[in-house]
C-alpha cells in the first residue's frame, strides 16, 4: 500500500525579475583562523611580521545570474581572481621571499529573504 502526498505551488511570474552580474570585484582579507607550521614548528600570530595591507586584497572578475521573486532573492555567481605576486618575510630568520598567488576562483550561491517591503 502506497500513500502519496501531493502539493502544488503557484508562482506569479509577473513579479519575477531576472538579472545578471558582470564586472570587477574586490575582497579584503580580515583574519585567518588557520594554523601555520614551518618545518614542523607551529608559528603563532605574534611571531609573524606585520603584513602589508595591499597583499590582503584579492581582486578579479565576477559573472553571475539571479532571480528576484517578491521577497526572495537567489543568485549564483562565479569569481575569477587574478594572479598576483606578494612579498613575505620568513618569521624565524626574517628572510624576504616572493610568492605567486594563482587565480583564486569561487562559485557562490546566495539565498536571501527580505524582511520588510
**Given pLDDT bands bounded at 50, 70 and 90, which one contains residue 87?**
low
Place of cell 550561491: 109
Look up residue 83 and give its DSSP letter. Answer: P
**Does the global pTM surpass 0.85?**
no
Q: 65 φ, ψ to 5°? A: -135, 155
More confident site: 10 or 60 = 60
* Structure confidence by residue, pLDDT tens digits, 37-59: 777 777 776 656 666 666 677 78
Residue 7: pLDDT over 70: no
Label residue 40 left, alpha or beta by phi (over 0 means left) and psi (-120 to 50 means alpha): left
Please give the grid coordinates belonging to residue 66. 539571479
Residue 3: pLDDT over 60: no
Contacts of 100 (CB under 8 A, 6+ apart): 83, 84, 85
Amino acid at each position: 500500500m502506497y500513500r502519496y502526498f501531493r502539493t502544488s505551488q503557484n508562482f506569479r511570474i509577473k513579479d519575477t525579475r531576472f538579472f545578471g552580474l558582470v564586472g570587477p570585484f574586490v575582497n579584503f582579507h580580515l583574519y585567518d583562523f588557520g594554523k601555520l607550521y614551518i618545518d614542523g614548528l607551529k608559528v603563532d600570530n605574534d611571531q609573524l611580521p606585520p603584513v602589508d595591507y595591499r597583499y590582503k586584497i584579492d581582486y578579479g572578475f565576477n559573472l553571475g545570474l539571479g532571480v528576484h521573486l517578491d521577497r526572495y532573492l537567489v543568485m549564483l555567481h562565479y569569481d575569477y581572481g587574478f594572479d598576483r605576486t606578494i612579498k613575505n618575510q620568513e618569521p624565524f630568520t626574517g628572510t624576504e621571499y616572493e610568492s605567486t598567488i594563482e587565480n583564486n576562483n569561487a562559485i557562490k550561491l546566495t539565498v536571501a529573504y527580505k524582511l520588510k517591503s
